[in-house]
Chain A
Amino acid sequence: MELFILTPCLLIIVVLLNNSPGHLQQNGDTFSKTAELVLACQAGDKQAFNRLVLLYQTRIYNLALNYVKTPEEAKDLAQDIFVTAYKSLPSLREASKFSAWLNQLTINHCRNRYRKLQRRGYFTSTSTDDIIVPALVSTNTPERNLEKDERIDMVRTAIASMPEAEKEIIILRDLQDFSYEEISETLGLPLGTVKSKLNRARHALKNKIKHLLKTP
């Protein structure tokens, strides 16, 4: 009797799981969509390029913002990245590798801009108070938001004061949600090195904000 009840239930669950718009399925769609857009763009379709920008702009802008701190500079940097991408796109041989290719392009641009600004003393004269960045989703009360904003400011300041290599790996993994494999591919480092560098960088961050954290 129980078997008669359980079997249809299991079947329904399996069907629902197969049809649900899960993370992987969505990623798959975005992935195939990107490849289509890249091919169209390479064939001269400007609308395809616009769509690629709209698809990747949040990711690229946020990555830039984590390097250069101010929204104005991040916007300029993100635009330069897409301009370079547009000009270099004809040389991309495999459309399916667009995302990794764009990541590398972005990191190179960010590193160059960061070093250029650092040489000019840009970061020493810029306070974290200048950063006004509205979050994508805000569901908390104003008081909780204020506390959270303060924590975020402190974290951003701590990250900004880290050496470049440590900062980079924290940004990619913890702020941009890259997988270990993506970081390895983007930075050209073996997987084991990525793991050990990430551990060191996270410990360094913990030590920087240790005095602000609650002890058990």
Chain B
Amino acid sequence: MTDSMNCTSAQEMFSALADGELDAADVVRIESHIATCSHCAQEWHLFRESLAWLHEVQPVHAPSDLLVGIHAKLAHKNPITTWLRDLFGSPLSALSSMAIITLALFFWVANDTPTQTPQGTMADAGAFSQNRPPATMPTRLPARQRQVTPTFNLASDSWSNNLSSTTARLSAIPGLTPDYSITVHAPSPETQDLLYQRILSQNHWRVHPARNGTLLIYLDEQDLSHLQHTLGPHRLTMTPQPSLNKRNGALRAVSLRVETQ
């Protein structure tokens, strides 16, 4: 068989070859070229090796407070426009009304400034206006200040303290109600701690601490049985009972609490 391919056209097909996108005839052509061309053989080897490195980059978990932050941003950006929208009906009239109110506030601040700053310099006026309540939408905090990192230390006594700050954020999520509610009855505080640690160490679900030692767990419905298995032989109550016809890919929210008897 003659080699009907040059190096350039062979290397143009490397990507499709690696992805299995070539038809059988092209695969034969390119493979026979690689078999007879040492330069392309080396390039193909390096190409595959670099792809293998690339595919080692695995996805990472999204931060546990991503959803809380979204609701914080929605709540942070909306109050004035929402109020204006409720007041004036349409978004357009709300926007124009906001512009009018902003202008009015600007003139009010501008007229008020000399009486508060006897020196009357621009710098003083700027400093003064910073001390006033914001006249328009509040400015966004820098990213570093907006970062919220939930702390979660089961071993320490600060468990409930750590939870309370996280609880405040979680309770801000509107409409977050669990599909299942599980209460586990642990024989001792040690077992209670152990069960919490077991749940937190699993990769099958995502856990958010909620109020009073309750965990909010997000999982695929098919992992419910795995969760029950993780809880071991301890007595538990679960409402409602899970459906026998589990749907893979169906995301479920579970509220779980471990109580000591």
A residues near B, CB below 8 A?
A: 21, 25-27, 29-30, 33, 45-47, 49-51, 53-55, 57-62, 65, 71-73, 75-76, 78-80, 82-83, 86, 133-137, 148, 151-152, 154-156, 170, 174-175, 180, 195-196, 198-199, 202-203, 205-206, 209-210, 213-216
B residues near A, CB below 8 A?
A: 11-16, 18, 21, 41-43, 45-47, 49-51, 53-63, 66-67, 69-70, 73-74, 77, 143-144, 146-147, 173-177, 203, 206, 218, 222, 247-251, 253
Is B15 a contact of A79 with CB atoms below 8 Å? no
Residues A136 and B66 in contact in the complex (CB < 8 Å), given A46-B174, A83-B74? no
Most chain A CB inside 10 Å of its own CB: which residue of B18, B43, B47: B47
Is B144 a contact of A136 with CB atoms below 8 Å? no
Cβ 8 A contact of A46, one of B77, B175, B222, B251: B175
Q: What are 11 A-B pairs at a CB distance below 8 A?
A: A50-B176, A58-B62, A62-B62, A75-B147, A135-B59, A135-B60, A137-B58, A203-B11, A203-B14, A206-B47, A214-B49
**Which residues does chain B contribute within 8 Å of A205, judged by CB atoms?**
50, 54
**Which residues does chain B contribute within 8 Å of A195, judged by CB atoms?**
15-16, 21
Additional A-B contacts beyond A79-B69, A203-B14, A213-B49 (16; CB < 8 A): A33-B250, A55-B251, A58-B62, A61-B66, A72-B143, A78-B62, A79-B70, A79-B73, A136-B60, A137-B58, A170-B54, A195-B16, A199-B15, A206-B47, A206-B50, A215-B42
**Which residues does chain B contribute within 8 Å of A175, judged by CB atoms?**
54, 57
Is A72 a contact of B15 with CB atoms below 8 Å? no
